[in-house]
Amino acid sequence: MRVVAVPCLKDNFAYLVIEGTQAAVVDPSAAAPVEAALERAGVELAAIWLTHHHWDHVGGVPDLTTARPGLPVVASAKDSEKIKGVTQRLADEEWTETANLRAYAIDNPGHTLGAISFRIADAVFTGDTLFGAGCGRMFEGDPAMMHASLMKLAALPGETRLYFGHEYTQSNLRFAAAVEPSNRAVADRAAAIPAPSTPSTVDLELATNPFLRCSEPAVIEAALAHGAASREPHEVFRALRAWKDTF
């Protein structure tokens, strides 16, 4: 399996997931960059996988499907009514399979109530749930829900590759440094950010992403100083997310 990051719009990533001459595309916000990437890779589009319903992740679907009648379009059952053209609706841990590509859904409510990640082999496509050194805003869920979704991703094997939906890593690391000024792993990562910064790994996020470190003493103290009402991880997360929203 091969993964190709496809920059779209201002800072979005779509991804081609390639096996042989077939590819699925994750979160095609625009059709033209995806079509160009397919041509460069010399592969045919076999499916569209959508992590959530926001326009900057589904905007390319109409053009891609118009050019390919019958193309499978996969999303969560909860988000499917908000996306035109969905042909398969997934619940947590349900599978989608097209050509030689087989992925299963990880239910990740918080950013939207129907947000999912797609896991295939050692790669996970997290959409706007988990970013490099950060996480998405809660447009539909609550802090406990979002924190639980992040912990589900954090429990995956450490070498798991995490492909996220936006290039926010540099700004996220500035926030991480404000939360944990003494975290050497954050400083080291900030000093050597690749371009693009996707993918990350679970181990790297556990070391540098404050939203996955809500049980760490330094993170708890920082959250308490910014309005956390208790040391409970979901309350620490709530305070961190509110702080980041205005950082």
Single out the residue of 232, 227, 182, 230 nearest to residue 240, CA to CA.
227
Look at residue 175 in the predicted model and tell me its pLDDT.
98
Look at residue 110 in the predicted model and tell me its pLDDT.
97
Residue 234 appears among annotated catalytic residues: no
Residue 111 appears among annotated catalytic residues: yes
Residue 122 appears among annotated catalytic residues: no
Among the options 27, 79, 107, 128, which is catalytic?
A: 128
Domain boundaries, the chain: 2-245
Residue 226 appears among annotated catalytic residues: no
pTM score over 0.75: yes
Which tokens go with 211?
Answer: 């939203």
What parts of the chain have a pLDDT lower than 70?
none
Look at residue 99 in the predicted model and tell me its pLDDT.
85
Residue 166 appears among annotated catalytic residues: yes
Which tokens go with 81?
Answer: 């009514």
Among the options 56, 63, 92, 234, which is catalytic?
A: 56
CATH number of 2-245: 3.60.15.10
Task: Find tokens 């091969």 and name the residue.
Answer: 2
